[in-house]
């Protein structure tokens, strides 16, 4: 397995233009595309959720002729199924055929909670057989979890995902980001103004407020983040905000692109376009242990902090390569992280 160096940057570096490369994972000609003269790109991304607004999101994207990037996890749906089950497979296939792109959000929506000694991580799956059980995972186990999404997506659609991932809740550490990078995944967070607020309280953050904030604050190069359904929000964000936001941004001269065209991810995508990804070789024990002392409730996972909370802008220094691992040319990894004192689903 080939290791790569990591570096986190405090600001989004927007290139002079967008690559016109053809996707390496077998997509057909896109039904949505980026204008050739687009010089004010933004990057609209969606995480999975209860999928209740997914059909509406698809209609808006098709009507507006814009592409999006979807980060996939297998989460419970309003109809009693799961977001990556056979019921939703035709929907995902259609979205891929329309030119959207896809990446991993961990299969069981696995929250990182802490770094542990010996390159282990304290994690808690949000769905699946181990939902709610705090466990200790190796880097290999985390890589395997990321790759489960790739395998399932290819099974559903016959297509590849991007070599990117988004940690559930945006909860990461430098070591977790490096673990993903070591098996070919770059982490993608979101920009401060790109947090669109669809998981905030409807009472405290009405849709009109969220729309106004987005149109005032979004800037060129921002990565925008919303969901395909949030259980706790009483007044759904997507019907009220999504299309007016897109229209308003277009009126301001913005255009939309997918994450494979982001200037800080283009080279990574070209270099590590999937396999799907192989996991790290790990000679250590693969046993998974419960952490009954560390188990926590998910009841406080929704955001209560103000949207103005700043991202972590600390720049990490490069790690020295481990013994026996061939060093690779340095690739800049952008990690636009969530507000660190809040929790996102």
Residue 277 located in a structural domain: yes
Residue 226 located in a structural domain: no
Confidence of residue 121 (pLDDT cuts 50, 70, 90): very high
Higher pLDDT, 309 or 244: 244
Residue 231 located in a structural domain: no
Distance, CA of 254 to CA of 117 (rounded, Å): 45
Residue 57 φ/ψ, nearest 5 degrees: -60, -45
Residue 239 located in a structural domain: no
pLDDT for the residue 60: 97
pLDDT tens digits for range 192-220: 999 999 999 999 999 999 999 999 999 99
pLDDT for the residue 320: 30
Residue 225 located in a structural domain: no
Range of the domain at 329: 1-12+32-202+261-295+302-345
pLDDT tens digits for range 145-189: 999 999 999 999 999 999 999 999 999 999 999 999 999 999 999
- Listed residue (30, 87, 22) closest to 62, CA to CA: 30
Average pLDDT along the chain: 76
Q: How many domains does the chain have?
A: 1
Looking at the predicted structure, is the pLDDT value of residue 298 above 90? no
Residue 211 φ/ψ, nearest 5 degrees: -65, -45
Q: What is the pTM of this model?
A: 0.74
> How far out from the chain centre does Cα 40 lie?
21
Residue 59 located in a structural domain: yes
Specify the CATH number for the domain of residue 328.
Answer: 3.20.20
Looking at the predicted structure, is the pLDDT value of residue 236 above 70? yes
Residue 217 located in a structural domain: no
pLDDT tens digits for range 95-114: 999 999 999 999 999 999 99
SS3 state at 105: coil
Residue 92 located in a structural domain: yes
């Amino acid at each position: 397995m080939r290791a790569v160096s990591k570096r986190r940057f405090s600001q989004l570096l927007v290139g002079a233009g967008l690559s016109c490369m053809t996707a390496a994972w077998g997509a057909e000609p896109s039904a949505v595309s980026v204008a050739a003269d687009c010089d004010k790109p933004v990057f609209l991304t969606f995480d999975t959720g209860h999928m209740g607004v997914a059909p509406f999101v698809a209609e808006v994207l098709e009507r507006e002729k814009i592409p999006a990037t979807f980060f996939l996890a297998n989460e419970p749906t309003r109809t009693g199924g799961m977001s990556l089950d056979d019921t939703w497979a035709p929907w995902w296939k259609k979205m891929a055929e329309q030119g959207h792109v896809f990446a991993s959000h961990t299969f069981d929506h696995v929250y990182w909670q802490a770094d542990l000694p010996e390159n282990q991580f304290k994690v808690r799956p949000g769905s699946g057989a181990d939902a709610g059980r705090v466990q200790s995972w190796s880097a290999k186990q985390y890589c395997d979890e990321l790759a489960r999404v790739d395998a399932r997506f290819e099974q559903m659609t016959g297509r590849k995902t991007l070599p990117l991932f988004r940690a559930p809740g945006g909860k990461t550490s430098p070591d977790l980001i490096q673990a993903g990078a070591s098996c070919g995944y770059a982490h993608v967070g979101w920009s401060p103004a790109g947090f669109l607020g669809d998981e905030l309280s409807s009472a405290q953050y009405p849709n009109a407020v969220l729309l106004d904030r987005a149109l005032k604050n979004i800037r060129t190069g921002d990565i925008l983040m919303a969901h395909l359904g949030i259980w706790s929000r009483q007044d759904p964000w997507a019907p009220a905000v999504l299309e007016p936001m897109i229209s308003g941004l277009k009126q301001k001269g913005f255009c939309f692109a997918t994450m494979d065209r982001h200037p800080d991810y283009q080279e990574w995508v070209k270099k590590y376009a999937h396999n799907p990804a192989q996991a790290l070789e790990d000679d250590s024990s693969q046993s998974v242990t419960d952490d009954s002392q560390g188990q926590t409730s998910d009841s406080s996972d929704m955001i209560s902090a103000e949207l103005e909370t700043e991202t972590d802008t600390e720049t990490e220094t490069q790690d020295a390569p481990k013994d026996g691992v061939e060093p690779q040319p340095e690739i800049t990894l952008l990690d636009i992280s969530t507000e660190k004192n809040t929790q996102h689903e």
